[in-house]
Structure 1
Amino acid sequence: MEQLLTLDSLFTLFMLVLLQAVLGFDNLLYISLESQKAPKDKQSYVRKMGVGLAIILRIVLLFVLLELIKYFQNPFLSMHSNTFIEFDLNGHSLIVLAGGIFIIYTAVKEIWHMMLMKEHAKIEGKESKKSVKSVIIWIVIMNLVFSFDSILSAMALTSDMDATPQLVLMTIAIILGGLLMIVMADKVSNFLQKNKMYEVLGLFILFIVGIMLLTEGGHLAHIELFGNKITPMSKTTFYFVIITLVIIDIVQGRYQKNLLAKKEAQDRKE
């Protein structure tokens, strides 16, 4: 207990919570968009329940990873001496790759629905009837997919500590990070619902999240395509792309408003 109350341990806890918040942004965006498929009066409940269950399962996952980490890292399927593709697939890479593929599919499907404006209302109506249980299940599943990187990063950050203090600090960080996610998920979701124009931006960011997961999974699996290694997209690059997309969206929005104002002024003169 004394080791947990030292200045060094408290600083490590702060860094762990900060890590959970930074690495949880893409997860937060998915939760906000996925929860909109539930009935409107149940969306806040879905977000809270989904993240709440995910917190419990994250702690379970933490225990599992601490005990079975070597099994997630050891390759179970390999292919070499192939001019097209080479890889060493392990459990960690498979989960990350599957998560990336699913998120890209989700983003592309929603973007396609938005492009078909006449069908969008019908699709929205059908999706709003999606059961609360199924939405919560998907939120929990994807939360666990996103958990791998944050938990493994947290394990690296506390690797110099004894097993018990390490486990306690990481558990506290998961709980605090989850509570922060519950609060922020409502705010992000409310913002997207009030500003529908930013929902398209959110879906494209989600698409980039999927690409980031695919590159991370490809790197973990040591995939080489035509002799070229797949390198993971860094968080710095990810946030730079997001900032660029937001700036483009703001500039384009203001430009369109100026064009509409100019057109209205010309119509009045005529």
Structure 2
Amino acid sequence: MYDFAAFTELATWVSLLTLTLMEIVLGIDNIIFISIMVSRLPSEQQARGRTIGLLLALVFRVALLLSISWIVGLRAPLFELPLAWLSEPLAVSGRDLILLVGGLFLLYKSTTEIHNKLQGEEEQEAQGGRVNLSQVVLQIVLIDLVFSFDSVLTAVGLVDNVLVMIVAVLVSMGVMLAFSGVVSDFVNRNPTIKILALSFLILIGVMLVMEAAHQEIEKGYLYFAMAFSLIVEMVNIRMRRKSKAGPVHLHEPYYKP
């Protein structure tokens, strides 16, 4: 399992690169959620909140990777749930329960954040000091567990060497720590991007609930739709900025008062 000699092979480095890129893509969801949560903190605590959230995600993922046998055991059915619209009972495992709880929590938090944003309650809470670091970190911990679980399951499906998985997680988390501030600032500066990001999280929540019910959704289609929506919104932002700047007339005559 911990095969250090494997790093002398080209195939191992290809697997490491592939897994690292996959972890970064999967970690974007986590960064968006953390950025939105810490935006409700006072500005001087936001960087600290992002760092704590990503470090906790790193700890959870490494801990889960070191418990591969337990992770595999979570796929074993715990009980069966007879449903009228299914020809046979639905076998519910520990993995399904984790995904279900995580998906429902993500749906609840995303819709609540959108509601608060539309009602202006988010700014009132930030000014009134009703949101503190410990509350935000607790919510980040809950969603970190779900995202880390999904990330580890992906890693187990791609690579057999646990050491390669750990290195990929460390590298991907380093990249996310380096760019989390940039992502957070961009989301906070553009309210429409924040709403779009929350909508993405709703999609991810639905995907987790569907996976808990053994209805697999191709993640490639989901991420493509998210990327396409983001590109369209970036074009809209650019157009709005140009319209605010107004037309520039370089050859107009200059009249003195």
TM-score, normalization by structure 2: 0.83
Matches of 1:18 and 1:254, distance apart in 2: 28
CA positional deviation for 1:197:
2.8
Q: Deviations over 1:21-57 (max 9, x none)?
A: 1111211211111111222101111111221122122
1:114 equivalent in structure 2: 117
Q: Deviations over 1:81-131 (max 9, x none)?
A: x425642211111111111111111111111122224x45324435x5422
CA positional deviation for 1:259:
9.4
8 Å contact 1:78–1:87 — kept in the other structure?
A: yes
Instruction: Output aligned runs, 1:5-44, within 5 Å.
Output: 5-44=8-47
In the comparison of the two structures, how many residue pairs are matched?
A: 241
1:203 equivalent in structure 2: 198
1:157 equivalent in structure 2: 158
2:144 equivalent in structure 1: 143
Instruction: Output aligned runs, 1:93-242, within 5 Å.
Output: 93-117=96-120, 119-126=121-128, 129-159=130-160, 166-219=161-214, 231-242=215-226
Matches of 2:65 and 2:170, distance apart in 1: 12
Identity across the alignment (%): 28
2:69 equivalent in structure 1: 67
**Structure 1, unpaired ranges of 5+:** 160-165, 220-230, 263-270
8 Å contact 2:32–2:197 — kept in the other structure?
A: yes
Task: Please give the root-mean-square deviation of Cα atoms over the aligned residues, in Å.
Answer: 2.5
Change (3 A) 1:125 1:234: farther
CA positional deviation for 1:258:
9.5
Matches of 1:235 and 1:12, distance apart in 2: 20
Matches of 1:247 and 1:187, distance apart in 2: 17
8 Å contact 1:78–1:88 — kept in the other structure?
A: yes
CA positional deviation for 1:213:
1.4
Matches of 2:81 and 2:37, distance apart in 1: 36
* 1:239 alignment partner AA: Y
Give secondary structure in 1 for the equivalent of 2:74: helix
8 Å contact 1:51–1:140 — kept in the other structure?
A: no
